[in-house]
Amino acid sequence: MAVVGSGPAGATAAYKLAEKGFKVLLVERGRVPGSKNVYGGRVYLTPLKEIYPNFEKEAPIHRWVRKERISLISGERMLTLEYTGDKLLSFTTYLPQLTAWMAGKAEEAGAVLVPEITVDSLLVEDGQIKGIRCGSDEIRADVVIDAEGVNRLLLERAGLVSKPSSEYLALGVKETAKLSEEAVNGRFELEPGEGLAWLFLGDLTQGINGGGFLYTNQDAVNLGIVIVLDKGVRKLKEPIHILAEKMRLHPLLRKYLRDGKVVEYSAHLTCESPLNFMPPKLYGKGLLVIGDAAGFSLNLGYTVRGVDLAAYSGALAAEAVEKAHSSGKIAEDLSIYERMVRKSFIYRLISRFRGVKSLMAQDKIFIDYPMLVTDIASMLFNIEFEVPTLYEALNRARKDKFSLLTLLLDAFRMVRTI
């Protein structure tokens, strides 16, 4: 078996296949597993616990997320909703560390990891995938598992998918600011080992669909900006990394990051419309598609998931290979993988929230509504003599921009969609 890409999806597929007794080659173009991986900062736990025994004791977990914040920003005004939970169901980490740990588990199980190898194309003979090509070398395999990520050049070159529309993709830029562990705890009001996941909506993205994020690691903070690619190309008037810099220096946020040393910049494409990005088939003769290459990520505005979905799809792929192998027609019977995916929580999630993209495509979500909400808050809390009722503040804030019917319809649609 050949697995292309040692990210969370590929490393997990290799681990589970090797654990089942298959000979597995895990190919990675980076210098080490994880060196090409980028993400915001949070991972959900439960799917990984099902895959990896003793995950909480062995994996490189930095902080358990106890606090969730969502903030609407308009200019120098911000309204924040905060939730403090009592269950430890997600954590922060450096993805390269987590990915390297996963790849290490695959090697322990018997997989052979080969880094610094670029796969140029799939080896196709008589309409069936027979392996991979790396330069002039051909590596044959009963099954190739494509975990190349969102930039799925192998699938495009093989004619199995078309180039994705930019409306289905987003570009994220992240900075990692180094702080002391004591500074992280104090500035974000966290106990040792506790973490914060903080998402932002408003004019940080200059009216372009997207948002900001901030996640606390043990002694650092990840923060950045994500914008939908098609509108970003058409509307953004400055490089996106400038937006990330402006976020770090924003009057409302810089107090949290003062004296922080930026030790890393990174950027990454992500899938914003999973069902539209997903290949027509997740399998072929001798081929399975997993992780980001399959579109398995989810952005709901109030939370973002990707690593756990990717890893779980890798485990499903390994299980599908095992079942197909037992039939004696391993290359032909891989369709079982697609059936397994469609019965899994992954597909239920991305199907249930399929309307999020169209909801978040409305420009007013990113400028008008944050302004409306912060205007209302300003009237209610900036008191001199008189104070309006909530209804009066709403009427003054909406002015001629929104009718009450529009507000009610949009609120209903939002609640129903996300």
The tens digit of pLDDT for each residue in 101-160 reads 999 999 999 999 999 999 999 999 988 999 999 999 999 999 999 999 999 999 999 999
In a domain, 266, yes or no: no
Give buried/exposed letters for 140-160 (b at 16+ CB in 10 A, else e).
ebbbbbbbbbbebebbeebeb
pLDDT higher than threshold 90 for residue 301: no
Mean pLDDT for 385-392 is 92
Containing domain of residue 298, as a range? 2-40+95-164+279-354
- Whether 287 and 396 map to the same domain: the answer is no
In a domain, 56, yes or no: no
In a domain, 199, yes or no: no
* Measured distance CA(112)–CA(36) in Å, rounded: 19
- Whether 100 and 143 map to the same domain: the answer is yes
Mean pLDDT for the chain overall = 93
The larger pLDDT score, comparing residue 162 to residue 301, is at: 162
pTM, entire model: 0.94
Q: How many domains does the chain contain in total? A: 2
Domain with residue 25: its CATH number is: 3.50.50.60
- Whether 297 and 348 map to the same domain: the answer is yes
pLDDT higher than threshold 70 for residue 331: no
Helix axis angle for 307-327 and 335-343, nearest 10°, is: 140
pLDDT higher than threshold 70 for residue 332: no
pLDDT higher than threshold 90 for residue 228: yes
* Measured distance CA(281)–CA(279) in Å, rounded: 5
* Measured distance CA(331)–CA(32) in Å, rounded: 30
Q: How confident is the model at residue 399 (pLDDT cuts 50, 70, 90)?
A: confident
